[in-house]
A and B are shown apart, each in its own frame.
Chain A
Amino acid sequence: MAEDLVLTEVDARGVATVTLNRAEAHNALSHDVVGALRAAFDALAAREDVRVAILAARGKSFSAGADLKWMRRVAEFSLAENRADALRIAGMFDALNTLPMPTIAKVHGSAFAGGIGLIAACDIAVGAAHALFAITEVKLGLIPAMISPYVTAAIGPKAARRYCQTAERFDAVEAKRIGLLHEVVGAEELDDAVARIVGEILKSAPESLRACKTLIRETAGPVSEALREETASRIAAIRASDEGKEGLTAFLEKRKPVWTGEG
């Protein structure tokens, strides 16, 4: 059932928790998960009584990024289908980024590619010390497209230039140093760390926080619809290119890709 992919709970204080619930697939972002996240974010956006939203996940990983089955489908997509699919994903990240109330990513395990986009689009990010991170798209002949506005805003252009291009894994301490995480704690302390931040937010004025969040975004430079469309166009073009096709095929066939120009 599609609604089981993402769980939403709101407590009496107005604290919402949205939980990725595909532990067996490391919370990979399938077509249906993207749809369920979008629906969950839209529902929260319409609620005046929600004071703060936590994005969490079940299982070993926070989110492993793109889903394998979805990748198989993407490999067959036309350029137009690719672009429409990418726009849908960009819309989901935008809905998270522009949720009117403060958001906290509770990162209990590793996050890759799109999973990093989810963290970067939240206002606050707290992670467990054992979590690992990587922006892996280029290994598949793809680019971190729809997530890049949020990732670059979080970690800055210099760190983005390194980690988007090298696809290296980095640990939670490095994630904090570059700004993806605000705080790193032991896994057993994660609940308390998030509860403490929620407690601080509940002391502040709800209308002030909503106005404050909007103004920070406007002052920093919002992610425009034009930019979202541009990121979707670029990933669509890359997916349809020879290199993108080879990367995806090699990944699905579990072999090393052969890049043009490679000896």
Chain B
Amino acid sequence: MAEPVLLCETDARGVATLTFNRPEVNNAYNGDVILGLIETFGRLAGDGAVRLVVLRGNGRHFQAGADLKWLLQAATLTPEENLQISRNTTNAVRGLNAFPKPTIALVHGGCFGGGTGIVAACDIVIASDDAIFSITEARWGVMAGPIFPQLIAAIGEHNVRRYALTCERFGAARAREMGLVDEVCAPGELDAVAGPVIEAILGGGPAALRETKRLIADVAKLAVDDAAAEALAVQHALKRQTAEAAEGLRSFVEKRSPSWYPGSGR
């Protein structure tokens, strides 16, 4: 039997740990991972024994973003099937953002594309200083739209304008400076740093925490409504089926520069 793409365990204290488990592809997400996230967060939300959720990645990286081979297949689907993928992607991030219990992301290694959206949608983010972030979608001719609401809430419009338009990589220190990451530690220290944070959350009343989180979202207008989510999904889906996206994804598979790159010119 194939390994599950997501692992989920809950300890005796009610700390659920959700682990991306595709280390052979750097935990890149595909359709199964997205549906797994929607299903798992739905289940954990209703499980009275679960007090908080920790997200992490197995292997060398937290999350390498979308599995580009899977995206290449998606580009050949019917428009309706393609749109459904974008709806699921949008709803997975939106659902994580609105998850009623505290969420903590423990980030090591690469965190790219949709991975940055997952981190931005968590309440607390701890990264080891080997973590590398990048909002990579435009590099492949596709869109990062579904994660923009969460990214803008975390690092602000001006920083999204820089990093989504340059697709530059940035480290844990810069991520902390911008507000994407709350704490930075040495590699291997993620659990040690997360321990007191988890303890602190367990000291709070579960209903009080749920109400607090909801109120923060209301005051900061963080919720993405149905119409906004649908608009994000439609734009995301349409962009993936353009000639530009086909060239970007093909250039990845063929390990060459895309046609739009003029060379460094230096």
Contact = CB atoms under 8 A, between A and B. Distances in A.
Do A and B pair up? The answer is yes
Interface of A: 12-14, 102, 120, 123-125, 153-156, 177, 179, 182, 195, 197, 199-209, 211-213, 215-217, 219-220
Contacts of A216: 148, 152, 157, 160-161, 164
B229 to A, nearest CB: 11
Contacts of B245: 205, 208
Interface in B139-170: 139-145, 148-149, 152, 156-162, 164-168
A208 B138 contact: yes
B85 to A, nearest CB: 17
A211 B148 CA distance: 12
B158 A212 contact: no
Contacts of B167: 200, 203-204
Main secondary structure of the interface of B (DSSP, over half): helix
Q: Which 4 A-B pairs have the closest CB atoms?
A: A205-B141, A220-B157, A123-B161, A204-B138
A206 B244 contact: yes
A153 B159 CA distance: 10
B242 interface: yes
A99 to B, nearest CB: 12
Contacts of B235: 211, 215
Contacts of B160: 216, 220
Contacts of A123: 158, 161-162, 165
Contacts of A205: 138-142, 244-245, 247-248, 258, 260
B78 interface: no
Which of B139, B158, B232, B260 has its CB near the most chain A CB atoms (within 10 A)?
B158
Contacts of B260: 202, 204-206
A227 to B, nearest CB: 15
Interface residues of B, number: 42
B203 interface: no
A219 B168 contact: no
Given A200-B167, A205-B248, 13 more contacts: A179-B156, A200-B168, A204-B138, A204-B139, A204-B166, A204-B260, A205-B140, A205-B142, A205-B247, A211-B239, A212-B143, A212-B165, A216-B148
B152 A212 contact: no
Nearest to B266: A195
6 contacts: A12-B262, A124-B165, A154-B156, A200-B167, A212-B137, A219-B149
B204 interface: no
A207 B141 contact: yes
Contacts of A211: 143, 235, 239
Give the interface centre of A102, A154, A203 by most chain B CB atoms within 10 Å: A203
B195 interface: no
A208 B143 contact: yes
A209 B148 contact: no
B265 interface: yes
